[in-house]
A and B are shown apart, each in its own frame.
Chain A
């Protein structure tokens, strides 16, 4: 039996929205989906007229949908933004090389300039080489830390006003759960912020913060967007995977769980007597860091000295180990 669209436009519904339970036809779904992101952008003051915005593009569903929607909204609502694509090539054969092909197609389709920066260029190490050194257990630490800094470096090279990332509601809820499980109160506060501004870095924003993964996938499916969908070959069972499975189980029981968890993250406050790390700059590379030497430099130092495990675990231990090494060499960036 055909199900009519909740707002009775006369068309048959094609999907049930997980967030609201509304049943919508294709056109009304596009309209609702795009309008919600537009409200997220305007309510959160994510952009100013004339901003140059780098879209962190991986070729995956989230960044592909983000690029498509930002282009649409920029034209529809006259944001007057200049949109550029910024991609990081971690150097993972059989994964990133393929997904970057998708980004190249996006570049042509959306007519946006594209900058690709590689780990090899920035750090002298590709993820393939890093995995050969450290094995498959802790390699995600390297990839995550290096990517964060690589995006900042790329954004500085492009001289942009802000970086937009494709983090969706499910990603953020997962991160809230992970930060609770790890007791990481500093990150727990930061991960739910729609804009993160740290002195000395380019602001980052998450226009898809309240957008459900299911809707992103359905949007891409109905619009026949071209995206890359292979799981990273190095991380089949990483910690996030467990949080994700748990979240998806919860979502099935109660679709609002995802919004509820984000809401919890937003409303939790840290007791005044809890000491949060001071943000300074790394004494080696000058990038923002809560330690004297940033995690990226410690990891890199470990790799270059043949001690790849150096930066895994507590930074204070690594700093001691570093200080104990004869003639600590300066890192070249």
Chain B
């Protein structure tokens, strides 16, 4: 059993191009003093799994996701969960869905 949190992150609807075209990433978040929040996770993703760093502004804007990206935790809208302040639990499935493409 690893210390830290085992979670799955998923990038869909075009976002996967920033992640080497891989949609699903099983990751382990290292142990920290403060509990992991979605806000912290965004920066961790940017530093650790985002491949195309030049295109980071297609994923993040300021300290949050770029407007137009929907975030779901276990298929639940993150806006219901306190968005950036949500505390991540072990085995959470966190999905990032882009709406920023043609219809």
A168 to B98, CA, bound (A): 16
Is A13 part of the binding interface, using a Cβ–Cβ cutoff of 8 Å?
A: yes
B14 to chain A, nearest CB (A): 4
> Which residue of B14, B17, B79 is within 8 Å of A16 (Cβ)?
B79
Is B70 part of the binding interface, using a Cβ–Cβ cutoff of 8 Å?
A: yes
A-side contacts of B22, CB under 8 Å: none
A230 to B100, CA, bound (A): 9
Whether the Cβ atoms of B80 and A168 lie closer than 8 Å is no
Is B30 part of the binding interface, using a Cβ–Cβ cutoff of 8 Å?
A: no
B22 to chain A, nearest CB (A): 15
Whether the Cβ atoms of A229 and B13 lie closer than 8 Å is yes
> Which residue of A13, A15, A231 is within 8 Å of B14 (Cβ)?
A231
Whether the Cβ atoms of B80 and A229 lie closer than 8 Å is no
* CB contact list, A196-231 vs B, under 8 A: 213-214, 216-218, 221-222, 229-231
* CB contact list, B50-103 vs A, under 8 A: 66-68, 70, 72, 75-77, 79-80, 95, 97-103
Closest to B61 in A: A249
Given known pairs A61-B103, A214-B99, A217-B99, the reply for A15 and B67 (CB within 8 Å) is no
> Which residue of B75, B79, B99, B103 is within 8 Å of A222 (Cβ)?
B75
Given known pairs A58-B102, A230-B14, A230-B101, the reply for A14 and B67 (CB within 8 Å) is no
A-side contacts of B98, CB under 8 Å: 229
Is A232 part of the binding interface, using a Cβ–Cβ cutoff of 8 Å?
A: yes
Is A62 part of the binding interface, using a Cβ–Cβ cutoff of 8 Å?
A: yes
Closest to B82 in A: A1
A15 to B78, CA, bound (A): 8
User: Interface size class for chain B?
Assistant: 20 to 34
Whether the Cβ atoms of A221 and B72 lie closer than 8 Å is yes
A224 to chain B, nearest CB (A): 11
Whether the Cβ atoms of A63 and B103 lie closer than 8 Å is yes
Whether the Cβ atoms of B14 and A252 lie closer than 8 Å is no
Is A89 part of the binding interface, using a Cβ–Cβ cutoff of 8 Å?
A: no
Closest to A230 in B: B14
Interface flags, B33-44, vs A, CB<8A=1, else 0? 000000000000
A216 to B98, CA, bound (A): 12
B-side contacts of A249, CB under 8 Å: 67
Whether the Cβ atoms of A15 and B68 lie closer than 8 Å is no
Whether the Cβ atoms of B76 and A213 lie closer than 8 Å is no
Is A166 part of the binding interface, using a Cβ–Cβ cutoff of 8 Å?
A: yes
Closest to A60 in B: B103
A3 to chain B, nearest CB (A): 5
A-side contacts of B77, CB under 8 Å: 13-16, 218
Whether the Cβ atoms of B102 and A15 lie closer than 8 Å is no
Interface flags, A78-108, vs B, CB<8A=1, else 0? 0000000000000000000000000000000
B50 to chain A, nearest CB (A): 18
Is A309 part of the binding interface, using a Cβ–Cβ cutoff of 8 Å?
A: no
Is A175 part of the binding interface, using a Cβ–Cβ cutoff of 8 Å?
A: no
A221 to B23, CA, bound (A): 14
Whether the Cβ atoms of B70 and A13 lie closer than 8 Å is no
B-side contacts of A23, CB under 8 Å: 80
Whether the Cβ atoms of B103 and A14 lie closer than 8 Å is no
A213 to B70, CA, bound (A): 10
Q: List 5 A-B contacts (CB under 8 A).
A: A60-B103, A166-B103, A214-B70, A230-B17, A232-B102
Given contacts A58-B102, A60-B101, A221-B70, 12 further A-B contacts (CB under 8 A): A14-B76, A14-B80, A16-B79, A16-B80, A61-B99, A61-B103, A170-B99, A217-B99, A229-B14, A230-B17, A231-B102, A248-B68
Seen from chain A, the residues whose Cβ lies within 8 Å of a Cβ on chain B are: 3, 12-16, 23, 58, 60-63, 166-168, 170-171, 213-214, 216-218, 221-222, 229-232, 244-245, 248-249, 251-252
